[in-house]
Structure 1
Amino acid sequence: MIRDLYNVQLRPTEGGPTPLTDEEEQRVRAVLFRELGNEIADRGWARFPAYTPEERRRLVDVAHRLSVHWERQVVVEAEDQCALRLYLAGPEARSMTQA
């Protein structure tokens, strides 16, 4: 006998991250926009961990939104396998990132 299954969802693997809902994703990006934006405005750069491709894409999107907001490019660089650095583009801003 064949049965139809309705409302069946894949369960995340044990110990793995669960995907965020659209609302949660918007809230995370808003917090990152505010917190990283404040840090970049104060120091000229910010470092933030990014362990998964989704987290890296999220930070790249936040940098793009900051660039549009400030009308000044915010650059994203991988520091290592686990962290990204966001900083303001330009010669004067680049010298601040070396500190």
Structure 2
Amino acid sequence: MTAEEEQRFRSMLFSELGNKIADRGWARFPAYTPEDRSRLVDVANRLTSYWGQPVYAEVEDQCRVRLCLAGYKALPELSPARA
């Protein structure tokens, strides 16, 4: 991906996943590579800054990452996504 394509993709994730999290408190997205997971952690960090409340990024398995607000954490040992 070019830098411009990457930026557009991250913006789309921010919007789409942010809307899902706002509606139901969590969202799940495929993450097949370390780059995919890193991208989703970045989105969680951006949402945390934007909303002023923690958005957690949880790797569910080798293929999925779950982003959620504090009241929707699946595992108690999660910590907020950090830069």
TM-score bin, normalised by smaller chain? 0.7 to 0.9
What is the RMSD computed on CA atoms of the aligned residues? Answer: 1.5
Instruction: Name the TM-score, length of structure 1 as normaliser.
Output: 0.72
Max radius of gyration: which structure? 1
4+ residue runs over 4 A deviation? none
Structure 2 unpaired stretches of 5+? 75-83
Instruction: Name the TM-score, length of structure 2 as normaliser.
Output: 0.85
Work out the number of aligned pairs and report it. Answer: 75
Structure 1 unpaired stretches of 5+? 1-19
Q: Percent identity?
A: 65
Higher relative contact order structure (alpha carbons within 8 Å, sequence separation ≥ 6): 2
> Which structure: greater helix fraction?
2
Match of 2:7 in 1: 26
How far 1:23 sits from its partner (Å)? 0.2
How far 1:37 sits from its partner (Å)? 0.1
